[in-house]
Amino acid sequence: MAIAIANQKKRREKDIAAIPYFRKSKTNKSKYCKKTKQKYNKKMKTKKQIVECVPNISEGQDQSKIKQIKKTITKNKKIKLLNIDTGKAANRTVFTFIGEAEEIKKTIIQLYKICYKLIDMRKHKGVHPRIGAIDVCPIIPVKNISISECIILSKKIARELEKYLDIPIYMYSKSAIKEENRNLPTIRKGEYENFQQKMESGFLPDYGSKTFNKKFGATVIGARNFMIAYNINLKSRDLETAKKIANQIRTSGNAKEKLPYCQAKAWFIKEFDCVQITTNLHNFQKTNIHTVFEKVKTLAKNYNIETNGSEIVGLIPEESLKLACKYYNLNKKQTIKKLGLNSVKKFSIKKQILENKF
């Protein structure tokens, strides 16, 4: 018990040291510099630290459960719910909400409690990779808060969840404690169905239960920068060919056509009756939506397959759309048409441009 408390104290001190204002004093290494601490506290009193959270919930079919989860988020009047994106085939709902750091923490705790109660992963089926009822819970800096501070916040949330729920918690992205867990696909490998065996083979969580929770599964939490979830539709049901195209563009692949900061895979979406190349773009300044769209379009032609527009899941920064407009030399409405963003789902500038939601 004493060793566990000592280790927890060391982790907290390491977290605090990540904040620039809390660097240890050169003259007295046993204490944190009082002046810089006071300066930091004064700054935080005058400026609100705004954080975005984008939890991916493993429920996309039962509307009554989705409504209860939504109600849990909106119950906190200091939180603003920006977007809800539900996929039936994926059996998954992505909520996007923002608020002050402390309020985000409170809401996330309540979110985990309601999902723990409502969702039974033993009955879950969906095309999207997942390991638990809340598959992943990203923490994203928006205003007056650094990525280092979001790392600390994510670990505070994980430690708080330990008190209430017996679930395995893995830290990823910027919050990764183990380097091999930095990428989400690495943690998800094997998915829910094989995760118990994976844990028993030595893949232990950073926080929470060391035993797999069959009802809830496991979860991933971490701080990251803004990411665009972007899918390209193919006029085809050929999943094997779609997988080849996804492998050619993903950053981790070996193809000449691979794109930087791009995660990609392929799946068949029953509700759209076609295959999709689904991507996560981690740096839209380097690899933007138009880059991926044009690359997939070119590669699909090699297999005599046409694209059928594309889809934004959740929100997109205005700058990303502007970059696409600049590339095509078109206005926003024309660019949306060019990318086919209304082909399978209606794209709303008012509802899906991040800056328009503030």
128 annotated active-site:
yes
Q: Is the Cβ–Cβ distance between 85 and 159 less than 8 Å?
A: no
Report the alpha-carbon angle 55-60-63, nearest 5: 110
In one letter, which amino acid is 220?
A: V
Q: What are the φ/ψ torsions at residue 184 (nearest 5 degrees)?
A: -60, -45
Neighbour order of strands in the sheet with 262-269: 262-269, 274-281, 228-234, 307-313
> Residue 84: is it exposed, middle or buried by C-beta count within 10 angstroms (0-12/13-18/19+)?
middle
Say which of 124, 128, 282, 290 is annotated catalytic: 128
Residues in the chain: 358
Structure token digits, residue 17 = 């040291």
DSSP string, 295-344: HHHHHHHTTT--EEEEEEES-B-HHHHHHHHHHHT--HHHHHHHHTTTSS
Q: How far apart are CA 264 and CA 151, in angstroms?
A: 25
Q: Which residues are catalytic?
A: 128
